[in-house]
Structure 1
Amino acid sequence: MNGPELSRRSLLRAGAALVGGLIIGIGLPVRRARADEPAPVGASLNAFVHVPTEGPVRLVMPAVEMGQGVYTSQAMCLAEELDIGLDQVVAVHAPADQADYGNPIFVIQATGGSTTTMAWTEPLRKAGATARAMLVAAAAAEWNVDASELTTDKGVISHAGSGRTLSYGAVADRAAAMPPPADVALKSPDKFQLIGTSQPRIDTPAKATGATVYGIDVIRPGMSYASLMAPPVIGGTVAHVEEAPALAVPGVRQVVVLDDMVAVIASNSWAALQGLRALQIEWTPGPNARLDQAQLWAGIEKASEGPGVPAQKEGDALAKLGEGTLFEATYELPFLAHTPMEPMNCTVHVHDGVCDVWVGTQVPGKAQDGAAKVLGIEPAKVTINNHLIGGGFGRRLEADYVITATRIAQKVDGPVKVIWSREEDIRQDPFRPLYHDRLKALLENGRITAWHHRVTGASILARWLPPAFKDGIDGDAVDGAVHPPYAFGDILVDYVRHESPVPVAFWRGVGPNSSIFSIECFLDLIARKTDVDPVAFRRNLLEANPRALAALNAVVAKAGWGTPAPASAFGGRVGRGVALMHAFGSYLGCVADVAVNDAGDVRVTRVVVAADVGRVINPDTVLAQIQGGVTFGITTVLHNKVTIAGGRVEQSNFHDYRLIRIDEMPAIEVDLLASTENPGGIGEPGTVIVQPAVANAIFAATGVQLTRMPVDAALIAKAV
């Protein structure tokens, strides 16, 4: 393939000589991250495919499987071009290696931002096509025939003229000794046998039988268990610990006291938890003991009034906004916890100058680097054994829990599994940031001719990927705000960075959560104040964007826009709302129906989504991701928020951090639009798009617009 230098190609051949068969590396130029920093020169060998002499093809996946189905969809890309069945592929996580397995969008080894399909579809197809070409060339040499006379199917090479056949494994060693082709032709879509078809997920059987080992399931010989507690006040420290009560608990072996946490080590997890509860701990609260949510809201609102850094500027929007009919609104999004089904956990064994880690992480390279830094050793001496993940939602894009477990493990003999309780998982979570979006628009003859969108919030990228934070702009924070699908005339989108003591991290839907919510709610506000149908108003702004217009038209047709939302036994008031988005390389339209009772409680009764995600790899995966994202988003708009009082997180478990329950689930209908465009992302858009659609439906039902999430039932009750 293109790109790999001689030394790396030699390494591949050496590997093939050791294990047998053909090993293919993916070489592709590393593209830029989301900010406009210069792209590195050269190529990186990002993943490997091993065609053995016997057995299934082994795909080393650079992306991590956490329930989103990438093992299957990316295996389909490889298998399509290699002409094998999915049952002939075994997918495994890549090892920690920032250089060789870096996501070409992030430039580091990470799975997130709905980038997997965008980043890896073409490289994996090329890897499969390259392997197939080399295997065919080896068979042609074996039979002394022209390669063009050979066909392949299900891992078998056939020569129709002579009736001879060879398995891939039979020629794998010979293929490994041949030079890779400089370029390979990929299949035309009309030849696809897998891509675009619904395929069962290859990780389902092991999950169904309980054979899958998640990070929390890991068992090591001689392993201890640890339960931990951090200071209840953000930024606090440990003042004093009375260890005796914990050590008196049967099974407790040790208490580890660090400056910012206490851990109890025991022979089993129950003893560790009971020992932790028995501890007498005095905390030093630190500088945030008086921090509360009102201060945090006031702080971000005040920051929004300061100067912003332009992220998109076309024309002179500020000058034009002083003329004509002006509309203005502000929207605010709260802190949110990740609450994956599998709470944070990590097993670490520090011994003999090395460190072994068993974990589920979206960033194995960061995890490796973090553990190495704690121990003062080279990253190569840290082995990350990555596992399938029981939900990430951005939480496992952080390596803090691996670092914490390593700090504890270096004080313990033998391997130790550290498990966060649900309470600690929520209270010590790095939350989704507060966001404050202020929008202004000038309306002339039914069209917006000037637009100002100011986004205020913390910058995650400045910490997580510093090269992507450039010239004061966090590209994630303004994603969805810059380059909207609508024709807005003169545009100014600017960003105000505002940090608080509360730790923050990426959360499913990332920046577009606030941007799309704000834009779509603001458009509904303008439409209703001018007595224009919200769909007609949007159509008038989409004449130059056929893909966006098609998504909008498809969803309103499927949802029956223009007809009343059906009556519901839940409440007397019903409403229907619409929203549109372009983010993550995908276009989605959404219509939501809601019912509102006299107490102001809201029930979402139906959600319809039309999605143009480019060329679809596995339709079943796309449908599942949209359904899951919609569920996640409904929970957010109806129930979720994290609040701070006295420097402490007030929420602790699912009784006060509500998730949507089965009796609250609406019908979800999804229409996948046919497209020949490059694949977009789909893991997060469902979460993003449903929030403004539900908010707009509530607006239609009650006349109350939701400007600070989640729904305030008391406020709505006054209106109904």
Structure 2
Amino acid sequence: MVSVPFDRHFLRMRRRAFLLAGLGTGGALFLGWTLLPPRQRLQGRHAPEVPAGSGIVALNGWLTIAPDDTVTIVAPKAEMGQGIHTALAMLVAEELDCDWQQVRVTHSPIDRIYGNVAALVDGLPIHPDQLDAPLVRGVRWLTAKVAREIGVMMTGGSSSVRDCWMVARQAGATAREALLSAAAEQTGVPIAECRTERGVVVCGTQRLRYGSLISAAVRQRPSRVVLKTPSQFTRIGVSTPRLDARDKVQGAPLYGIDVALPDMLYAAVAMPPVLGSRPLHFNQQAAMARPGVRAVVALEGTRYGDPPGVAIVAESWWQARQALPALAIEWSPSPHAALSSDGIMSTLRERAMRGDAFAFRRSGDAEALVNAPGARVMESLYEAPYLAHAAMEPINATARISRDQAEIWVGTQVPGFVRDAVAHVTAIDPSRITVHQYQLGGAFGRRLEADYAAQVAMIARAIPGVPVQVIWTREDDMRADFYRPAAVTRFRAALSPTGNVRAIVVQSASQAPFKALSQRVGFVPTMRGPDRTMAEGTWDQPYEFPAVRAAHAEVSLPVPVGSWRSVGHSHQAFFLESFIDELAQQAGQDPLAYRLALLARHPRAATVLRRATDAAGWNTPIARGDDGLLRARGLALHWSFGSYVAQVADVSIDGAQQLRVHRVVSAIDCGLIVNPAGVTQQVESAIIYGLSAALHGEITIENGRVRQGNFHEYRPLRIDECPVIETHLIASSEPPSGAGEVALPPVAPAVGNAIAVLIGRRLRQLPLRLTSRAVRGGAGT
């Protein structure tokens, strides 16, 4: 997220802002508002949908109960393979004491009560060590109030469980109390003598099913609701199979691409082959003469980032796709025709080498120590390329547009922004636009965008009253993505005569992905100011260096960028953890011992580090594999989204200079764990996705074109490359923190550090390849 950095200047500005608010016109109202508690999140303006005449009752905005005792959890978060619908259901069911076999999940309507508060609060650029400072608590409180008022529904930033941890439990507990009150009223038994268990209220010798009480329960207004303590949990903390597992095994329609409506037409889209070009002329008559073609629609592109192009609408998608060449489109010259990855990386290197950048963290006079005459300085430069999201379900959406109302069927991480995009294109009032949400076949941040919603609305607008489904090919998806930005980071460390760090200065350079996304979707609170998402992973880590300056320079480039799984942490962890190993080597110390010495005041981080290394056998020699090849271990630790993860990777290199990762041991402290099975699955998923990027991932630009188009050019990890993965969950009494992305950042540096042991030199560029290209930017003293 975007904000002002938390330092002395930040404190002065905040104090000044509060004073000005108090003195200015309306200041008293503002100060009064800040003292009020945040708006409630249980009852929304839009109640969950229930079939007419079904007898189903919504006891609050988060659950409904049917006469047959079925409990339906209303989930405001997108299910994209991370298991969040199961986790949210567990939170509600824990407090509701319902029968788990009767639990179902449905998507929520768009309403402010479902707005993501945690993502905005946790997105403030505040170092984790400062969270308990009184002023910081005040800033976070105020930000939470603002987030509650804004009410942006968003699934991302590994924030879903954090955001719903309290409110989902409160929803379940409030419904439980309403059922208890209804049962006590009906039986005449004092409520203190009634209890709930597995979907029934027990009042003395009487057992009343939840379904029989809902009509009376909906009239109750519990005055006091008490949440369970962790010692009372029976569902939270228990490994639980995912609620959608059976449907997925049976191939049930779950995703946006599965939508099939009566009289539906299909659209395929021709998009610019070069960044920045537009269609000048095309042969509409020839395309209309092709079998099944019903319409040709010119696309202008909108502020949501959907590119200009031409769509063909036909009776089947294959007919539409096959007709595209008949358009014979003449594209305009591109102002970016000379753009190349080499030029982009050169620009980023030059910017990272300059000293002027926005400092997200300043502690001590690090610059003076590094630049002091005669200082012993160690310096390294690290680089990472653009990355595509490459989710297995390609971009798709279905829309039906009439004169004064619209519907869209879509998988999205931001349903409110999707609705806004349709409204922007059609000029239809948002209250008359219905968003039907589906599961996502992967997203990794790609479906935080609303470009495909704007595009399908523009196409369907041309054929009023008829549903039209747009499906992108894999090549469309790969070449019209909002990429993880390429980045360069320069490290400089001032060393003592014994090799210990006296100060560390970090400067990174890249585009600003979250700011770019915010400008496309019109999210005003994060449109301006510095974008912390690309610098995260350097300034916010727990290492206790005597002096630090961590800064980031935003670079303007024509390549479209957006949020990618773990965002800046995805590459900054590789940069920093590799440099930490370099520092340990320079000091002649073991990488584990070196890190532990820098974590004296961070016991959670140290515990995670010890758990991973103990499980991996760090202090025992690593044997040759069955293939006879030498192996080495590499270590990495990283904090992201409130969680600590440490990993140890076992790596070998064969005679053909091919890297092989045999084993990854991971330890994670993500606070109190709701579903251990779900967290374990997410750790495994993140490691595999992270290894794909570490070993193969690279989007390259040549003559203004994205070269990669499909998985033969943009390789995911193959099944025969997948290592053995061991996950160790650390019990914690802290509130839940992130799990979906946090195991990705440390895997690349763990592998890179092992490679350095094997070959005796450092690879400082991603992806990790044993070529001369990867040896740029050496370290020295």
Q: TM-score, normalized by length of structure 2?
A: 0.85
Residue in structure 1 matched with residue 33 of structure 2 by the alignment? none
2:117 aligns to what SS in structure 1?
coil
Distance 1:425 1:470, change over 3 A: closer
Give a deviation string over 1:589-637, Cα, whole Å, max 9, x none: 0000111123322111110001111111111100100001000011101
Residue in 2 that maps onto 1:311? 360
Q: Distance in 1 between matches of 2:711 and 2:49?
A: 53
CA distance in 1, matches of 2:503, 2:418: 46
CA displacement at 1:422 relative to structure 2:
0.5
SS in 2 for 1:286: coil
Q: Give 1:118-137 correspondences, 5 Å limit.
A: 118-137=162-181
For 2:298 and 2:48, how far apart are their aligned partners in 1? 49
Amino acid at match of 1:264: I
After superposition, the Cα gap between the structure-2 partners of 1:712 and 1:618, relative to the gap in structure 1 and judged at 3 Å, is same
Contact map agreement 1:611 1:672 (CA 8 A) in 2: yes
Would the alpha carbon gap of residues 6 and 713 (structure 1) be closer, same or farther in structure 2, given more than 3 Å must change? closer
* Number of the residue aligned with 2:15: none
Report the RMSD for the aligned CA atoms in angstroms: 2.4
2:202 to 139, 158, 161: 158
Residue 7 (structure 1) shift: 13
Cα shift at 1:567 = 2.2
Q: Give, in whole Å, the separation in 1 of the partners of 2:56 and 2:326.
A: 57
1:344 to 395, 408, 411: 395
- Residue among 560, 565, 574 paired with 1:517: 574
Report the AA paired with residue 513 of structure 2: I
Cα pair distance change 1:177/1:308, threshold 3 Å:
same
Distance 1:121 1:544 in 2: 28
2:280 is equivalent to residue 229 of structure 1: no
In the TM superposition, residue 434 of structure 1 has moved relative to its aligned partner by 1.1
- The letter for the 2-side match of 1:274 is Q
189, 210, 224: which one pairs with 1:168?
Answer: 210
Equivalent residue number for residue 161 of structure 2: 117
Task: Give CA-to-partner distance per residue, 1:415-470, whole Å, 9 cap, x none.
Answer: 11100011111011111111111122223355433121222211122233455548
- CA distance in structure 2 between the aligned counterparts of 1:471 and 1:9, rounded to whole angstroms: 30
Distance 1:550 1:14, change over 3 A: closer
- Residue 486 of structure 1 pairs with residue 543 of structure 2: yes
SS of the residue aligned with 2:557? coil
Aligned match of 1:298? 346
* 3-state SS, counterpart of residue 357 of structure 1: strand
Match of 2:313, SS? Answer: strand
Once the 2 structures are TM-superposed, how far is the Cα of residue 326 of structure 1 from its aligned partner?
1.8
Cα offsets for 1:542-584 (capped at 9, x unmatched): 1110000000000000001133333246684422100001111
Q: Which has the larger share of strand?
A: 1
Letter in 1 for 2:115: G
For 1:91 and 1:691, the matched residues in 2 are separated by 36
Corresponding residue for residue 287 of structure 1: 335
> Does residue 80 of structure 2 align to residue 66 of structure 1?
yes
| d(CA) in 1 for partners of 2:340, 2:46 | 57
Equivalent pairs counted in the alignment come to: 693
Q: Deviations over 1:166-201 (max 9, x none)?
A: 1112222212112232x4211111211111111111
Task: Judge conservation of contact 2:298–2:311 (CA < 8 Å) in 1.
Answer: yes
Specify the SS of the correspondent of 1:473: coil
Distance 1:647 1:6 in 2: 47
Percent of aligned positions that are identical: 38
1:353 is aligned to 2:404: yes
CA contact (8 A) 2:637 2:647 kept: yes
TM-aligned CA deviation for residue 204 of structure 1: 1.0
Residue 395 (structure 1) aligns with: 446
User: For 1:119-138, what per-residue CA distance to the aligned partner results, in whole angstroms no more than 9, with x for missing partners?
Assistant: 11111111111111111011
Equivalent residue number for residue 281 of structure 2: 240
In structure 2, what is the Cα distance between the partners aligned to 1:357 and 1:383? 6
- Is 2:732 the counterpart of 1:660? no
Query: Which secondary structure does the structure 1 equivalent of 2:344 belong to?
Result: helix
**One-letter amino acid of the counterpart of residue 202, structure 1:** L
Indicate conservation of the 8 Å contact 2:697/2:714, yes or no: yes
Cα distance between partner residues in 1 of 2:698 and 2:212: 59
Give the match for residue 113 of structure 2. Answer: 100
Q: How far off its partner does 1:382 sit?
A: 1.4
More divergent stretch after superposition (78-87 vs 246-255): 246-255
Aligned to 2:457: 406
Question: Which whole-Å deviations, capped at 9, do the CAs of 1:41-76 have from their partners, x for residues lacking one?
Answer: xxxxxx422233334112111111111001111100
Quick one: which amino acid aligns to residue 548 of structure 1? A
Contact 2:257 2:397 in 1 (8 A): yes
Structure 1 unpaired stretches of 5+: 26-46
Task: Compute the displacement of 1:211 (Å).
Answer: 1.9
Tell whether the 8 Å contact from 1:448 to 1:487 is kept in structure 2 after alignment: no
Alpha-carbon offset, residue 682 of structure 1? 1.0
| Separation (CA, whole Å) in 2 of partners of 1:622 and 1:521 | 26
Partner SS, residue 442 of structure 2: coil
Q: Is the 8 A contact 1:358 1:386 kept in 2?
A: yes
Q: Which amino acid aligns with 2:217?
A: A
Q: 1:196 aligns with which of 227, 237, 258?
A: 237
How far apart in 2 are the matches of 1:310 and 1:431? Answer: 24
| d(CA) in 1 for partners of 2:412, 2:447 | 5
Between stretches 139-148 and 640-649, larger displacement belongs to: 139-148
Kindly indicate whether the alpha-carbon contact (under 8 Å) linking 1:571 and 1:597 is maintained by their aligned counterparts in 2.
Answer: no
Distance 1:75 1:5, change over 3 A: closer
1:7-22 alignment runs, 5 A limit: 20=55, 22=57
Structure 1 residues 212 and 55, CA, compared in 2 at 3 Å: closer, same or farther? farther
- Provide the C-alpha distance between the structure 2 equivalents of 1:17 and 1:381, rounded to a whole number of angstroms: 20
Shift in Å, 1:6? 13
SS at structure 1 position matched to 2:470: strand
2:510 matches 1:457: yes
CA contact (8 A) 1:374 1:403 kept: yes
CA contact (8 A) 2:266 2:315 kept: yes
Counterpart-to-counterpart distance in 1, 2:296 and 2:528: 46
State how far apart, in whole Å, the 2-side matches of 1:83 and 1:612 are: 28
- Match of residue 58, structure 2, among 23, 28, 35: 23
Distance of 1:542 and 1:648 partners within structure 2: 45
| 1:242-288 alpha-carbon deviations (Å, 9 max, x no partner) | 23443333222222223421111111111111111333111113211
CA contact (8 A) 2:59 2:217 kept: no
1:212 pairs with 2:253: yes
Q: Which residue of structure 2 aligns with residue 365 of structure 1?
A: 416
| Contact 2:79/2:439 (<8 A) preserved | yes
Q: CA deviation at 1:10?
A: 9.4
Q: In the alignment, what sits opposite 2:309?
A: 261
Cross-structure match for 2:772: 715
Are the structure 2 counterparts of residues 148 and 693 from structure 1 closer, same or farther at C-alpha, using a change threshold of 3 Å?
A: same
Structure 2: distance between partners of 1:441 and 1:494: 14
Check whether the contact 1:156–1:167 (CA below 8 A) recurs between aligned residues: yes
Distance 1:325 1:145 in 2: 79
| Change in CA separation of 1:570 and 1:503 when aligned onto 2, cut-off 3 Å | farther
Q: Secondary structure at the residue paired with 2:534? A: coil
3-state SS in 2 of match to 1:493: strand
Match of 2:135 in 1: none
User: Which residue of 2 is the match for residue 564 of structure 1?
Assistant: 621
CA contact (8 A) 2:516 2:527 kept: no
Give the structure-1-normalised TM-score.
0.92
Could you tell me whether the CA contact under 8 Å between 1:448 and 1:488 is conserved in 2? yes
Q: Is the 8 A contact 2:76 2:108 kept in 1?
A: yes
